[in-house]
Amino acid sequence: MTTRDFQMPGRSTVISAGGMCATSHPLAAATAVKLMEQGGNAVDAAIGAAVLLGLCEPQMTGIGGDCFALVQPGPGREVIGLNASGRAPAAQSAAAMRARGLSAVPLHAADAVTVPGAIDGFCRLSADHGRLGLDAVLAPAIRYAEAGVPVAPRVARDWAEDAGDLSGDARGFYLIDGRAPRAGEIFRAPGQAEVLRRVAAQGRAGFYEGEVAEDMVASLRACGGVHTLEDFAATACDYVTPVSGMYRGMELLELPPNGQGATAILMAKILSHFDIAALEPFGAARAHLETEAAKLAYDARNRFIADPGRVELRLAHMLADDTAARLAALIDPERAMAAPAALSEQVHKDTVYLSVVDADRMVVSLIYSVYHSFGSGLASARFGVNFQNRGAGFSLVEGHPNELAGGKRPMHTIIPAMLRKDGEVLMPFGVMGGAYQPAGHVRMLTNMVDFGMHPQQAIDGPRSFTDDGVLGLERGYSDAVRGTLTGMGHAVGIPGIPLGGAQAILIDRARGILLGASDPRKDGCALGF
C-alpha cells in the first residue's frame, strides 16, 4: 500500500500490536482501550465506547436508538451478525396514518419513534460474548454522564445547526440556557446516568421494564404515540447471518435486511464490470461511474429492502451476479442517466460507528444511531432519553414491502461492515452518513483494492454522492472535475456538510499488528496499546 506525503496535511495510520479502537470521539476510543487493558475483550470495549458516544455525540446517537454489529469471536471463527433494531408499536399502522392525510411518516413526532433496540443488543452481546460484565463496561459512561464531557468542535457545529429540531422536554435536557452548547462547554446527563446504573444492575429489565420504561411510554403517549409497556417489554434483538459479495478477490461482508448493506454489495458488483483501477482516483470518470452504479443500486434498495420477518424479500435476485451485470450494462461511461427512481432517502449524518480489535483478535464492527439529528427531537420527561425517529424509514404506500405495520422493523440505513480475504477477516470498517453509507463502503473498498491506498488515505480522500438529484462533490475535487461532470449531464454542487465519517482497523496478521484509521471529518481518532 502507498504511503502518504509527510509534507502534506494528513494523518498517519495508527499502529499497535495489542488491541485498538477507532471511533469518532477521543474519549470513546480511550475508554475502549482502557476496558481492554482492564481485561475486557473487543465486545466489552465496543459497548463501553458506544454508550459513551451517546453522551459525547448526543445528536448522533443514544440509548433511545438502535444498533447493528458484526462480530468475529476469534481468528478463523465465523462472523456473526446482530440486529438490534427496534419495531413499530403494535397499535401503529400505515392505514391509520393515511387516514390522517399523511403520505410520509412525520420526522419529528411520536409517530416516527420505534422502540429503542440498542440496549437490548448491548445486553445480549455482553452476556454472550463479553468478559467483564455490564457493571464494569458501563461504569465509564455513568461517570461521564454525571461529571460531564467537553463538547468537541464538530459536535458543537452539528449541535448548533440542529438544536431547532429539539422540542418539549428534550430542550431542557440537550440545551444550555436554551441554546446549543459551544465547543469546550460541559454537557451533563444525570438522568441517563441513572438509567445506565439500572441497566448495569438489572440488565435489559432496567430499561425495558419498571420506572424507565414507564417514563418513556408516558412521555411518548403524551406526544400522541400509541406505544405501550408491552411494546417495550417485548423488544428482542436477533442474531443473523451476514451477506457477502466479492470484489476483485476481496469479500465485502454486510448485515442482511432490514439494513441496506446489500446495497453496497450490489453497487460493488456493478462497478466490478468497469476497469476502475485504470482511472484517476479522484477524477471525473470514477466519480461518474460510482454515481451511476449508486443510482441503480439504491433503486433496488428502495424496491426490495424491508423487514424479512414480515415480507418475502427478493434478496437473492438483488445480490445475483447476473443482476449486477444487467445493471452495469445500463451505464453510459460518458453520460449521466436520469435517476431510475427518486431516491427516498436524504443524506443523514446522525450515526456513530466504531471498530474494535482486541489482543486475541476478536473483531467487532458496530454502528449505533438515533437516525436524524437528535432523532425525533423528543425526550422522556424524567430521565431525558432521546427517542430515535427510525419509523421515518417506513413507507406509507399500500402494499410496499417496507409499508409501516405494528411490530415491524423499518428499512434501516446504518450498516457495519467487514472485509475478508482468503476466508479471514482483514478489516472491520464503517462509514457513517445515512443513505451515503453503501456508497461510502464501496468508495473505501475500491480505494484500497483498486488504488492500493492504506486505510487512512482511503478515508481522507474526497467523496461524492448524489442527493436529491444533485451530485455533491466535496471540496477536495478540482474545478476541472466539476466542469467535466457538469458536461456529462450531472447537476453538480458542493455538499453543505462533509459526506459521512469513517473508521477502520486493518489487521496485519503476518506482522502481528493493527493499523487504525479515523476520519478527519469527525472529532475522533484511532487508539491502540
Taking the chain (529 residues) in consecutive chunks of 10 residues, what is each chunk's mean pLDDT? 76 94 97 98 98 97 97 96 98 97 96 98 98 97 98 96 96 96 98 98 98 98 98 98 96 94 95 97 97 92 81 80 92 86 39 92 97 96 98 94 95 93 96 90 97 95 92 96 97 94 96 96 96
Q: Report the distance separating Cα 53 and Cα 23, nearest Å.
A: 9
Question: What pLDDT, on the 0 to 100 scale, is given for residue 366?
Answer: 97
CA trace torsion 46, 47, 48, 52 (10° rounding): 100
What does the pLDDT read at residue 361? 97
Residue 150 within any structural domain of the chain: yes
Q: Is residue 117 part of a domain?
A: yes
Given phi > 0 = left and psi -120 to 50 = alpha, else beta, which region is 213? Answer: alpha
Q: Please state the separation of Cα 402 from the chain's center in Å.
A: 19
Query: Is there a domain that residue 314 lies in?
Result: no
287 contacts: CB under 8 Å, gap ≥ 6: 464, 471, 473, 477, 481, 485
Query: Residue 419 pairs with which residues in a beta bridge?
Result: 252, 427
Which are the contacts of 448, defined by CB distance < 8 A and separation ≥ 6? 1, 250, 419, 454, 455, 458
CA-based max dimension of the chain:
62
What pLDDT is attached to residue 307?
82
The secondary structure of 79-95 as a DSSP string is PEEEEE-----TT-BHH
* Residue in the structure block whose three cell numbers are 476483485: 248
**In the prediction, which pLDDT does 121 show?**
98
Q: Is residue 341 part of a domain?
A: no
Residue 167 domain-assigned (yes or no) = yes
> What is the model's pLDDT at position 434?
79
Q: Is residue 291 part of a domain?
A: no
- Which pLDDT belongs to residue 348? 39
As for how many domains the chain has, the answer is 1
The pLDDT score that the predictor gives to residue 306 is: 81
- Dihedral (Cα; 164, 434, 505, 35), 10-degree rounding: 50
Distance, CA of 505 to CA of 429 (rounded, Å)? 7
Query: Residue 450: which CATH number?
Result: 3.60.20.40
The Cα-based distances of 144 to 126, 194, 221 in angstroms read 21, 12, 30
Write down the H helix ranges in 38-109. 42-56, 94-99
Residue 1: per-residue pLDDT:
53
Residue 250 lies in a domain: yes
**Neighbouring C-beta atoms of residue 469, cutoff 10 Å:** 12
Residues 476 and 282: beta-carbon distance below 8 Å: yes
DSSP string, 459-504: HHS--EEEETTEEEE-TTS-HHHHHHHHHTT--EE--SS-S-EEEE
C-alpha cell at 189: 446527563
Residue 351: active-site member: yes
> For residue 71, how many C-alpha atoms fall within 13 Å in the half-sphere facing its CB?
25
Task: Identify the CA nearest to 40 among candidates 150, 131, 149, 163.
Answer: 131
Beta-carbon neighbour count of residue 460 at 10 Å? 20
Measured CA to CA in angstroms, residue 382 lies from 148, 172, 226, 240 at distances of: 18, 11, 19, 35
Rounded Cα–Cα distance for residues 215 and 209 (Å): 10
Sign of CA dihedral 384, 389, 391, 397: positive
Return the H-helix or E-strand segment holding 429: strand 424-432
Instruction: Say how far apart CA 460 and CA 11 lie, in whole Å.
Output: 8
Catalytic residue among 291, 323, 351, 466, which?
351
Strand residues in 50-199 grouped as ranges (E): 66-72, 80-84, 149-150, 186-187
Can you tell me whether residue 420 is helix, strand or coil?
strand
Question: For residue 318, what is the enclosing H or E element?
Answer: helix 315-319
Which residue(s) pair with 254 in the sheet? 243
The pTM for the full model equals: 0.94
pLDDT (0 to 100) of residue 343:
33
> Which domain does 508 fall in, by range?
1-279+346-467+493-529
Look at residue 351 in the predicted model and tell me its pLDDT. 75
Point out which residues pair with 20 in neighbouring strands. Answer: 357, 528
Tell me how far apart the terminal alpha carbons of the chain are, to the nearest angstrom: 23
Q: Are strands 80-84 and 149-150 parallel, antiparallel or unpaired?
A: unpaired
C-alpha cell at 479: 474545478
Place of cell 471540496: 475
Helix (H, G, I), strand (E, B) or coil at 20: strand
Tell me the β-bridge partners of 386: 379
**Any residues with CB less than 8 A from the CB of 493 and at least 6 apart, and which?**
470, 471, 472, 473
Q: For residue 341, give the C-alpha cell.
A: 427512481
Residue 259: strand, helix, or coil:
strand
In-domain check, residue 63: yes
